[in-house]
Amino acid sequence: MASGAERLHGGRWSGDGRASGAERLHGGRWSGDGRASGAERLHGGRWSGDGRASGAERLHGGRWSGDGRAEHVFELDRVGVDYVTPAGVVAGVDDVTLSVPATGITVLAGPSGSGKSTLLRVLGLFERPARGRLGFRGTDVGGLGHAGRRAIRRHDLSQVFQNPTDNLLDYLSAAKNLLAAAGSANQVCAPEVLLEQLGLGGTGSWPVSALSGGQQQRLAFGCALARGSSVVLADEPTSQLDEQSADLVLDTLRELARRNVALVVTSHDERLIELGTRVVRLHAGRVDEIKDAIS
């Protein structure tokens, strides 16, 4: 059982272990009788007829696990996103079922147009699926309104974009970018210490424009750390960098993984893909293969 404030109430876990009113789970959302019906009860990461979650997939503290330890940050069940084009409705992603571990580097790999960026937008809560279910730490995100989704983005998620300059405030120094990121999430930050840990020691007073592309991307990941984000989503973070700058970013990804941050990265850079502890290969919007690294 989840204890204390970790039990679900109104989409979050409450002290009595019961979800109230319309917030109890029914069909993937919380209903008045507190019971999930039929095929909608959770079993093995999906809702099953007996209403019990088995093995490592039981919900504990808002995450699915057998022993109370964090297992996954995201659970997707047959998720699809559609776009309207002049040629008709096109599925950006279709029938995607996968989980994202709470630690390590999950790489979404595939050619252009395979659905990587669309799927990342779904995980970042910027895109609502047209069908299927998305869970974040055991909460069905489909049942959340704008404020609830924004709260998750603010407190749990950070996004790093392809273009390094899109991630930073160019009118602030490197150190002040970290302080601004920390302040936005009410976190305390020692910028010079963090810069040193990221291999950016001595750059605290530098304007962003004085940093190389690789240094800017490193600083962007540093801002995610300063915010205290437990999940970092990065869209092709090495695609606009030269080889030397890309190497700096790969080192930073390794550092974040060592800090037990859950990283989800889109890429067709084979060097980055090799870093993945879970690699999800996409083709034409569908999952082609999911492969975990051998530890």
Could you read off the pLDDT of 95-122 as tens digits, one per residue? 999 999 999 999 999 999 999 999 999 9
- HSE-CB at 132 with a 13 A cutoff on CA atoms is 22
Q: Is the pLDDT of residue 26 over 80?
A: no
CA–CA dist 265, 272 (Å, integer)? 9
Residue 295 pLDDT: 64
**How many residues belong to the chain?**
295
Could you read off the pLDDT of 232-272 as tens digits, one per residue? 999 999 998 999 899 999 999 999 999 999 999 999 999 99
Residue 170 pLDDT: 92
Q: Is the pLDDT of residue 278 over 60?
A: yes
Could you read off the pLDDT of 36-72 as tens digits, one per residue? 333 333 333 333 333 333 333 333 333 333 333 358 9
Domain limits, the chain: 1-69
Predicted TM-score (pTM) of the model is 0.74
